[in-house]
A and B are shown apart, each in its own frame.
Chain A
Amino acid sequence: MSTAESVAQEHRQLLRVGVVDCDVHPTLPDADVLRPYLPEPWRIRNTYVGKQTYVSAVGGMRKDAYPSTGGPPASDPGLLEEQLLGRAGVDYAVMIELITGPVPHPDHDVALHSAVNDWFADSWLGPYNDHGRFKGSITLPIDSPAAAVAEIERWAGHPHIVQALVSSVTHQHLGHPQYRPVWAAAARHRLPVATHAGYGGGIDNSLSPIGPYRYQVEFKSITYPQAHAAQLVSLVCSGIFDEFEDLVFVFVEGGFSWIAPLVWRLDNNWARLRSELPHLRRRPLEYLERNVRVSSQPIEEPGNPKSVTRLFDLIDADRILMFSTDYPHYDFDDPTRALPPLAPDSRERIMWRNAVELYGLPEHRPSDRIDRG
């Protein structure tokens, strides 16, 4: 067989997708990489001003994810491919670029988000993406809504962009009318909107409703879900899913165990106080399946895995849960080990089908150099 024939044959080989990872965090090899994408007066400054309020006691990263070439974890496509697409068997990696969180000066915030999108398209979604298995998010400077709309308009239609991304740390709850043009733009382009905890120059999810926590453990345990819970309730109650009926929000890395009891409580209050929200065309519970998806990592790990299975039933996980690893962070979930025992159909929906349907990804993909080792 000639080389050409062999290549052609390999290209004909289609693989059934088995894992879509909905939370992967690529980053810059070093902050200077972003500099050419920034206009002055921001270029001359250090490009990334974010500092986390809480720092992990074990370091933020998987210790085996540091590239031998230098740079931080998930800055080198070769090692990410080897560990995530190769060993962990991820077919598509949906990338959430946490390069910048919200920063205080709005112009700086807009410039940074825009620069990240440019750099990301020029690297992970460009030359690094010969296999097409990297899917990207448009990171939005959400507290400058007009600029956020402009970013959506700039990137919608890119073949590997699958969603918009906003920090869950915002100046107002996401149901506030000031953000409405952003949701209108996302809906117009049929882009789901992911929300993930954001870090940045002193603006982050560091506070509880009763002040700062002492420990990162407290912060990790409660803050992410708390922000997501507030944003979810706000979006539902403000009628965002009535105005934009097909808009889907993806709540990333904030857990899912809280969703059922929260929405039951919301449902109950709505039945009594409906006249305050006449714009809701459905009971709050019904928006979950239509308009909400949640990522799985960090999956709850109670002593008895069957407890998680029961929880899956309560939240209708078959419909709303999407698997994620959070690679390369230290709280990574492995695709082969993280989920509890499940019926095959449920496993399939959570591991890939829900994501494939949401993001419009093909169910089969051609084998590539990573499959061939």
Chain B
Amino acid sequence: MTVSRHVVCPLHELPPGTRKIVLLNGRGPGVGVFNVSGRLYAIKNTCPHQGGPLCLGPVCGTTRAVWPSAGPPQPEWVRDGEILRCPWHGWEFELSTGRLVAPLRERVKTYDVTVEAGADVKRLVTYDIDIEDGYIVVDA
């Protein structure tokens, strides 16, 4: 499969804690590009469950069970910032893999996302911007 490269924006336009939804080749529903504490993720903006706009959901953590030696299991909050929760029905996906936290088969497509120096990507964009940092590039 051919990989197409898509320049999203200069890194400084997507500071930590923000996201952009970009249309690849001008078509929706697009891809969400997230900067979570400096880690970049790109994930398809469609929930495989009922087609909800996944990338409008909260980025959060999730729970895991802690089993004491006796007594019922207790929930513990873990993986803060690693989980994207669908805004429609709350299905929880790992931002990095697109896999569900729940043991279900459905999965969302994720994309490689890199930061590349301006010189390397200039030929991919039709305009020339004078910037200090690199560009965010999604390989779709």
Chain A contacts to B: CB under 8 angstroms: 177, 180, 238-239, 242-243, 270-276, 278-279, 281-283
User: Is the CB–CB distance between A283 and B67 below 8 Å?
Assistant: no
Asked whether, in the complex, the Cβ of B72 is within 8 Å of the Cβ of A177, the reply is yes
For A279, list chain B residues within 8 Å (CB). Answer: 65, 67, 73, 75
Q: Please state if B63 and A177 are interface contacts (CB–CB under 8 Å).
A: no
Inter-chain contact A278/B103, CB cutoff 8 Å? no
| Cβ contacts under 8 Å, B101 to chain A | 274-275
What does DSSP make chain A's interface, helix, strand, loop or mixed?
Answer: helix
Do A180 and B72 touch (CB < 8 A)?
yes
Q: Which A residues touch B104, using CB under 8 A?
A: 271, 283
Chain B CB within 10 A, most for which of A177, A274, A282: A274
Assess whether B102 is interfacial by the CB under 8 Å rule. yes
Residue B39 CB within 8 A of the other chain: no
Residues of chain B within 8 A of A272, CB atoms compared: 89-91
Question: What residues of chain A lie closer than 8 Å to B67, measured between beta carbons?
Answer: 243, 279
CB atoms of B102 and A239 under 8 A apart: no
The range of chain B's interface size is 10 to 19
Chain A contacts of B89 at CB under 8 A?
271-272
29 contacts between A and B (CB under 8 A): A180-B71, A238-B72, A239-B72, A242-B73, A270-B102, A271-B49, A271-B89, A271-B91, A271-B102, A271-B104, A272-B89, A272-B91, A274-B92, A274-B102, A275-B62, A275-B63, A275-B92, A276-B63, A276-B75, A278-B62, A278-B65, A278-B73, A278-B76, A279-B65, A279-B67, A279-B73, A283-B102, A283-B103, A283-B104
C-alpha spacing A282/B103, complex, angstroms? 6
The chain A residue sitting closest to B77, CB to CB, is A275
Contact with A along B80-124 (1 / 0, CB 8 A): 000000000111100000000111100000000000000000000
Residue of A nearest to B88 (CB): A272
B103 touches A281 (CB 8 A): yes
Contacts of A282 in B (CB 8 A): 103
B5 contacts the other chain (CB 8 A): no
The 8 closest A-B pairs by CB, nearest first: A279-B65, A279-B73, A278-B63, A278-B65, A272-B90, A274-B102, A275-B63, A177-B72
Q: Could you tell me the distance between the alpha carbons of A271 and B65 in the complex, rounded to whole angstroms?
A: 16
Are B102 and A243 touching (Cβ within 8 A)? Answer: no
Contact with A along B38-80 (1 / 0, CB 8 A): 0000000000010000000000001111010001110110000
Given A243-B67, A271-B49, A283-B104, residue A278 in contact with residue B91 (CB < 8 A): no
What distance in Å separates the Cβ of A240 from its nearest Cβ neighbour in chain B? Answer: 9
